[in-house]
Each structure stands twice: as structure tokens, then as C-alpha cells.
Amino acid sequence: MDAAGNLYGTTQQGGTTQGFYCMNGGCGTIFKLTPSADGPWVETIAFTFDNNDGSKPYAGLIQDRTGNLYGTASGGGTNNQGVIFEFTPAPAR
């Protein structure tokens, strides 16, 4: 959870379906859940993987003290063997 109360997570599918490795379901996404005054959370897609920067994110995200998020993806990278990625969320407005 970030300082504004937003939650972040990943999906292994969804997002773009570009490229050979991301057909049939997409390369995955990073999503953001924002609390609302009415009660339900509002979901937005914060990032879409495209196999150049990784695909099929695996497991959860780790946040550093400055708010950057880190994770792993099982595809993309050299020889499509996966990557460790860093995501910097947009500043709260």
C-alpha cells in the first residue's frame, strides 16, 4: 500500500497481445486499486507489459521506501527467460 492508500498488483494475462510470446491473453499488467469515498475500490491499469520489458509477471510486488515497485516476470528479456523489473508509479494528484 502506498502513502495515499492505493494497492498495486499484477496479472499474468491481459494487456497487449503484441508479439509471438503474448498471443492468446496478453503479456500481463500492473494494476492499481484506489479507495473511493463511496466504498468500492476503483481499478486502473497502471502498466501493460509487451514482452520487450517482460511478460507474464509472477508473484507480488515489493515496494521500496521511495515508492518504486519491483517484481519478476517469467517471460521477456534475454532469450525470453524472464526479467526483474522496476515500476515507478505516477505521483498522486
Per DSSP, the residues of 35-46 read: --TTSS-EEEEE
How far is Cα 53 from Cα 50, in angstroms, rounded to an integer?
Answer: 6
Q: Among all chains, which residue has been given the C-alpha cell 496478453?
A: 26
Q: What is the tens place of the pLDDT at every residue in 78-89?
A: 888 999 999 999
The pLDDT tens digits of the residues spanning 18-59 come to 666 677 788 899 999 999 888 899 999 999 998 888 889 988
Q: What is the pLDDT of residue 91?
A: 76
Sketch the domain layout of the chain as residue ranges: 7-87
Quote the pLDDT of residue 14.
87
Q: What is the mean pLDDT of residues 59-70?
A: 94
Cβ(60)–Cβ(12) under 8 Å? no
Model pTM?
0.87
Mean pLDDT of 1-9: 90
DSSP at 46? E
**Contact between 68 and 86 (Cβ < 8 Å):** yes
Single-letter residue type at 7: L
